[in-house]
Amino acid sequence: MKVLVTGGAGFIGSHIVDALIERGDDVVVVDDLSTGFASNVNPEARLCRLSITDPGLADVFEQERPDVVSHHAAQVNLRRSADDPLFDAQVNILGSINIIVNCVRLGVRRLLYASSGGAVYGEPQYLPVDENHVSNPLSQYGVSKRAVEHYLHSYAQYGLNYVALRYSNVYGPRQNPKGEAGVVAIFSEQMLQGVRPTIFGPGNKTRDYAHVSDVVQAHLLAMDRGNNTTYNIGTGVETSDQQVFDAVAETLGYRDSPLYTSVRHGEIQRICLDCSKARRELSWSPRLSFKEGVQVTVPYYRCQGAHR
């Protein structure tokens, strides 16, 4: 099977590429390397350095004619989405439409879309949040992710077969600690450098953390199951900022305490995802607990630091 992966030089996308190569698929990566790294791309995959907003994407589709498209390329910085919503919309909405229309034009068998379970729902009315929960995203990023889901639903009438995966907070090796997201990566690098990590608020804000290996497994299952539908992909477990700090500190043997500062405006305070639909229809469930995931993730950042 030939699979085109957008954002395949990034954190989650590169792990998906590795899994596809391992199972014998022919993989093409489309990534402009604005946030991804060529070194993340499996050497057996072909890299096309191109933005998903580029009209030349049509030529890539024409030449490669993929069976399946895995769409992970996105502007993911929440702060930038607020400061520059036009850029956020250009990449996340217009870029996604560019992909959708090319999939329909060439009769791609399936389009998998990486959506956000942490951003599309907004402030939860109940926990855990299932796919039927009202969607009132607080961030411009969340709005753009939700808008693309509407476009996917609209294009189903033109023959598009899609699955949208609403990821919780994904963590694991290759996550960039220089960004604003990825608190496991950020805390790991800061502790390794002797910098006291900062927690915004008293440490009781919660998120649902899924290890990237579990997310990859959900993605592979969704390539053959589910039609024109949406799945939450997470653990259903709330993990607080303080618990993240404690787990990383324990793994690294870090003895200092965190710094506490004011809560950041616009952030939801609690969320976790109900993933029973994915368990029922994809036969998927997460395998790693948060503590186990941290224990297999933190050594990556220790190794990265040793090679600097």
Tokens of 185: 């990566």
Catalytic residue among 113, 121, 141, 254, which? Answer: 141
Nearest to 21 by CA among 35, 5, 10: 5
Q: For residues 144 and 93, is the Cβ–Cβ distance under 8 A?
A: yes
Q: Cβ distance 108 to 100 under 8 Å?
A: no
- Alpha-carbon distance of 220 to 20, in angstroms, equals 8
Q: DSSP characters for 200-235?
A: ESSS--EE-EEEHHHHHHHHHHHTTS-SSEEEEES-
Any idea which residue has 């604003």 for tokens?
180
CA torsion through residues 298, 300, 304, 306, sign: positive
Whether 209 is catalytic: no
Q: Active-site residue numbers?
A: 141
